[in-house]
């Protein structure tokens, strides 16, 4: 029996995991497909900064998908999503809920990363009937950028 492994130029073995058939399998897919998670929430009241996804300590999150469904309009209402790291906050999207009901979905092909310890929050300024699904991946502390670097690169 021959034993071998594939490695990069430094001798580090490539990513091999047990496949669904129980045999070793070379992993050639991206982090989004292998580690994606998702959460949902439904709101019927005004909320200020409700956490949708929390970063792991010293890590960050990368958004992969976002679906927002507003079932009925609410005059002068807005729904917004932001990254919030405690000291710094960056608004990502703001939807006008006062015009009409809507459905919004988007897949972030390049991913949309936050900075170290930044959580994803949702805020509504009035009672709305909104449902949200967010897809995300936790990013390790090694690959996570502090706010100053993140802000300079966006």
Residue range of the domain that includes 39 = 30-153
Of the two residues 7 and 36, the one the predictor is more confident about is 36
More confident residue, 69 or 1: 69
List, in sequence order, every residue forming a beta bridge with 79; answer none if it has no partner: 95, 124
Number of domains the chain contains: 1
- What is the radius of gyration, based on Cα positions, of the chain? 19
pTM of the model: 0.81
Phi/psi region, residue 125 (left: phi>0; alpha: psi -120 to 50; beta: rest), is alpha
The pLDDT of 80-107, averaged and rounded, is 93
CA atoms of 64 and 33, how far apart (whole Å) = 10
Judge whether 50 lies within some domain. Answer: yes
Q: What is the pLDDT of residues 16-67, one digit of tens each?
A: 777 778 887 777 767 667 778 999 999 988 898 899 999 999 999 999 999 9
- The span from the CA of 139 to the CA of 113, in Å, is 9
How many Cβ atoms are within 10 Å of 150's Cβ, its own excluded?
Answer: 20
At residue 3, the pLDDT reads 62
Give the pair of three-digit tokens for residue 125: 């300024």
Q: State the average pLDDT over residues 85-103.
A: 92
* CATH assignment at residue 45: 2.60.120.1330
């Amino acid at each position: 029996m021959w034993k071998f492994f594939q490695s990069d130029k430094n001798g580090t073995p490539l990513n091999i995991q047990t496949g669904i058939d129980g045999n070793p399998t070379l992993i050639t897919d991206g982090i989004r497909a292998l580690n994606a998670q998702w959460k949902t929430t439904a709101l019927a009241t005004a909320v200020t900064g409700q956490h949708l996804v929390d970063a792991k300590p010293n890590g960050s999150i990368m958004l992969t998908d976002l679906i927002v469904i507003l079932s009925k309009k609410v005059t002068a209402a807005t729904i917004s999503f932001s990254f919030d790291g405690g000291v710094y906050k960056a608004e990502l999207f703001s939807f006008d809920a006062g015009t009409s009901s809507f459905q919004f979905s988007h897949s972030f092909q390049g991913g949309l990363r936050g900075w170290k310890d930044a959580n994803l929050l949702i805020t509504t300024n009035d009672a709305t009937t909104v449902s949200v699904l967010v897809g995300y991946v936790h990013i390790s502390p090694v690959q996570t950028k502090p706010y100053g670097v993140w802000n300079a690169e966006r």
